[in-house]
Amino acid sequence: MALSRVMPPAAAPDAQLVQRLRRGEHAAFRELYERFAQASYGFLLRLAGRREAAEDLHQEVWLSIARHAARLQPDTDLAAWIFTVARNRFRSWRRRKEPTVPLDESALDDRLGAPAPADDPGCRDLERALASLPEPYREVLLLVAIEGLDTTRAAVVLDIRPDAARQRLARARAALADAVHAQARPPASLARRTGS
């Protein structure tokens, strides 16, 4: 008799989960939350730049999701839907609050409960470079590089054509590389003094 490992249950395919959400099953909502809560919080934290704002927005997002889950279309792409709700809530908040959002360095320390990356100077530099990018570039990078959406699904979230998403992603990657490179370069005045 072969030994079997105890594995956590696999996440239900989107179609099944959507069907259960449409029926109003509380267990389906819990499953949806377990699958996407951490990712949606990280997305909001990196967009808002402040832990308190991200927490408030995260609550608003999940309240909205709970209110509208029963009205989902059967073919709903759950990841695209959730990130669209999160992005829309962030954009509404940003219009109400402030035009620019500075990065809260302390928010990096508790990003998703993973202290190790925030202790890494390279990770911190990358986060700073990401935060310095224009919002459209940050959004596409977060959705594709961090959250793992393909460019077609990211395009749905961003409400643009897939080819426009691919183009924006290429420009965002180039801008991120430039921002990282600029951070690694010493200021011109310091370079003159040290002879670099």
Q: Domains of the chain (ranges plus CATH)? A: 13-108 (1.10.1740.10), 120-185 (1.10.10.10)
Q: Which residue has the higher pLDDT, 1 or 38?
A: 38
> For 63-109, how does the pLDDT look when each residue is reduced to its tens digit (9 = 90+)?
999 999 999 999 999 999 999 999 999 999 999 885 544 555 555 55
Which range has the worst mean pLDDT, 115-124, 149-158, 186-195? 186-195
What is the distance between the alpha carbons of residues 92 and 73, in angstroms, rounded to a whole number?
A: 24
Percent of the chain past pLDDT 90, that is, above it, reads 68
Q: What mean pLDDT is predicted for residues 25-53?
A: 96
Which range has the worst mean pLDDT, 33-42, 64-73, 119-128? 119-128
What confidence score (pLDDT) does residue 46 get? 95
Residue 4 has pLDDT above 80, yes or no: no
Q: What mean pLDDT is predicted for residues 28-54?
A: 96
> For 129-164, how does the pLDDT look when each residue is reduced to its tens digit (9 = 90+)?
999 999 999 999 999 999 999 999 999 999 999 999
Q: What mean pLDDT is predicted for residues 30-44?
A: 97
Residue 112 pLDDT level (bands cut at 50, 70, 90): very low
Percent of the chain past pLDDT 70, that is, above it, reads 77
